[in-house]
Amino acid sequence: MNESDRSKTDMPCGGTTPETDQLHVFDWLHESLEEREAAGLLRRPAQRSTEPGLDFASNDYLGLRHDIRLHQAGIAAAATAGAGAGSSPAVSGWTGPYQDLVEALADWKRAEAALAFSSGYAANVSIVAALVTAGDAVYADRLSHACLIDGTRASGAMLRVFAHNDPESLARALERDEGRFRRRLIVTESLFSMDGDQAPLTRIADLAGKHRCMMLVDEAHATGVFGPEGRGLVDAAGLADHPAIVRMGTLSKAIGCQGGYVVGSRRLISWLIQASRGWIYSTALAPYIAGASTCAIGLIRSADSRRSYLLQSADALRATLRSYGWEVAEGQGPIVPVRIGPVEDVMRIDEFLASHGIAAGAIRPPTVPAGTARLRISLSASHGPENLDRLVRTLNLARESI
């Protein structure tokens, strides 16, 4: 091959070179980022510098993530099993700390068995996609977390959305579809992450039984906070033994660590081991996380005083904010959403709070519907009265500033 032939062979399709005709295949990113910024929707994550007592953005509901006992348990687990798990649990099995964790989860939740995932997101996507496939249907509360919707899309099942916390809407959808699908799955959060309200679990469970549906309940924000020993709202409603219900949650909120889990029958867990892609194709939880999480579960089971203080603080904060004219969503838990409305207003208030050393969650579309931007205040048992007073005073100053 001569030099002329070689140069022709080396050319990309179309007969041009990168030097003479660059394609700029990522030029669209600039325009898309500018559009998000103009709409006030550009996310700018930064290193967290807020002191724990003024951090109202995290989900550390019981104030355990800074507890030295969790750290010591994590170090002990890592010392015996290594800093990382090394591989997928489906390939090489799991470590001793992981085994201790799933046994602790099952015992705490009064279930036959448990499975732990690398994140709550991975857990929900994997569970949904393992329970339903093409030819099946998922009925999701309109405000269900994105991972439940993403799991449905990954499964190939038909997605049906029912009105938020509206069993009648769900009943109509189930009745319309009677006999149309092979398997059907109802999904809901027990405590909704953006509105702080609770699902009518008993009524939904009744519908699941009547229509022979499976029911997946995301207990991420309720675990540790509600129910006997903090077992969650399913247990508080007396539904822990309901044969149609699958319970999942996270290790990253009240438990103070990282990861996700599911509890249920041995047969269910056996099936998820076969079919949950997020468990099969991910490295198992690090021994440190497993050890710290197991320690946290032990502490949570006897943390009634923390739970009581947390819920009383949340009720008091709602009442105080309303007395100053803030629009606070109805709720029964540590999530206190303050509805602002316009994106630019919620961002100005959030920036004002940050300038005064306070962190709160500025929640914007598409996480919440357009026109409902809000501050999502998450309380912790570590927030003292002085912290709550400072939050309210600074919020009132922020409103005056805009």
**Residues catalogued as catalytic:** 59, 145, 189, 193, 218, 221, 253
Pairing mode, strands 158-162 and 137-141: parallel
Q: For 75-126, give the DSSP string.
A: HHHHHHH-SS--S-HHHH---HHHHHHHHHHHHHHT-SEEEEES-HHHHHHH
**Dihedrals φ, ψ of 116, to 5°?**
-115, 140
Question: In the block, which residue shows the tokens 């967290």?
Answer: 48
Instruction: Provide CB contacts within 8 A for 201, sequence distance 6+.
Output: 188, 190, 217, 233, 234, 237, 239
State how far the Cα of 111 lies from the Cα of 378, in Å rounded to an integer.
Answer: 29
End-to-end CA distance of the chain, in Å?
A: 72
Element of type H or E holding 290: helix 287-301
Yes or no: say if 244 and 214 are a contact pair by the CB < 8 Å rule: yes
Using omega within 30 degrees of 0 as the cis cutoff, is the peptide bond preceding 366 cis? yes
From 282, 153, 106, 127, select the one nearest 217 (Cα to Cα): 127
H-only helix segments in 137-286: 146-155, 167-176, 201-210, 233-236, 266-275, 277-280
For the chain, how are helix, strand and coil distributed in percent, rounded to 5?
Answer: 45, 15, 40
**Dihedrals φ, ψ of 69, to 5°?**
-65, -35
Which amino acid is it at 327?
Answer: E
For CA atoms 312, 313, 314, 316, the dihedral sign is positive
Token pair for 187: 């999904």
